[in-house]
Amino acid sequence: MLMAGSGCAAGHAEPETGATAVPGFPVVIENCGRTLTFDAPPERVVTGYQPVLETLLALGVDDRIIGRVNFSENGPDGFLPGQRERYEQLPEISDSILFPDREVMLALDADLVVTEGWYNFSESRGQATIEELAEAGTQVYITGGWCDPESQRRFQIEDTLQDVIELGRIFGVPEQAEAVVDEMRQILDEVTAAVADRTPVPVLATDGGAGPVRVYGGAGLTHAMIEAAGGVNVLAAVEDDLFQANVEVVAATEPRAMIVTDYQPGPTAAEKFTEVAAIIPDSAAAREGTYLALPAVSQHPGYRNILAVREIAQFLHPEAFAG
């Protein structure tokens, strides 16, 4: 399956002159400074990290997927209901969350690659670049506007909804995309209404570390989710996404709750919480053991971001969701 179509890796055949136009096409999308043009829905699609696949599953287009990366870092239970079975039916092209090396990627002869970040096309790591894929006839769509580190810091919740709309157009399922976006907006509206009159909860979001500490500043996806969920990021003054903070910076915070990035292998969320709580022992979060283990998949652009906003809000304001 990995090598299917390897003889065509140099490019796709041009459509026949006078071919019947596909209703709703061509579709033209601007993505990361590139213009993507689709004369018909893609039929051979490769997906990146889990939130990308979850988004395509929500759109019902998994029959177009010919390869996906490995999601084991989120554990056997790290799937949305009913999605593990569909994930396991798709060919695995990498044993990690990263794309495989250049030769394997090009041999897939994909029409489209959908991924959550620019870092999946590293020439130094031996991966196919976006330019090399384009030369082979493979277009690349990057979700969340994660085109580069600076773009990643500018992420807004609306970017995820826009991805769903654009992917719906690309795959020729705009009605399904609208339905998914309506569901997502309903969740966001319900959360907004529930927390509107509540005092925002000071939150420290961390990926652990005893010094330096991996923490999330006042930019990017995790910060946006905290704010949407009725929280206030205690490191909002630092205009960065995930960064390494010295102990003094963390010690100066007073969170009432922590959000701890959770994935395998490595320290558990509980272990990460314990080492960070030791730096701020007098904080309410440390004294009361208040933390939410948030799957890493929730902190990358995709459908699950909206579900995570609700999960964080229920954690920060349980009384607002009682009953």
Q: What is the pLDDT of residues 222-273, one digit of tens each?
A: 999 999 999 999 999 999 999 999 999 999 999 999 999 999 999 999 999 9
Query: Region 80-106: what's the mean pLDDT?
Result: 94
What SS3 state is found at 193? helix
Which residues lie closer than 8 Å to 219 by C-beta, 6 or more apart? 153, 154, 155, 239, 240, 241
Distance CA 223, CA 241 (A): 8
Full set of structural domains in the chain with CATH = 6-12+22-187 (3.40.50.1980), 198-318 (3.40.50.1980)
pLDDT per position as a tens digit, 111-162: 999 999 999 999 999 999 999 999 999 999 999 999 999 999 999 999 999 9
**Residue-wise pLDDT tens digits, 22-55:** 899 999 999 999 999 999 999 999 999 999 999 9
Spacing of C-alpha 252 from chain mean position: 30
Q: 4 pLDDT exceeds 60?
A: no
Tell whether the model's pLDDT for residue 209 goes beyond 60. Answer: yes
User: How many residues in the chain?
Assistant: 323
Has residue 221 got a pLDDT over 70? yes
* Global pTM value: 0.91
Residues 6+ apart with CB under 8 A from 284: 254, 255, 256, 257, 290
Q: Where are the beta strands (DSSP E) in the chain?
A: 27-31, 34-38, 45-47, 65-68, 112-115, 139-142, 201-208, 213-216, 231-233, 242-245, 257-262, 291-295
pLDDT at position 19, please?
A: 57
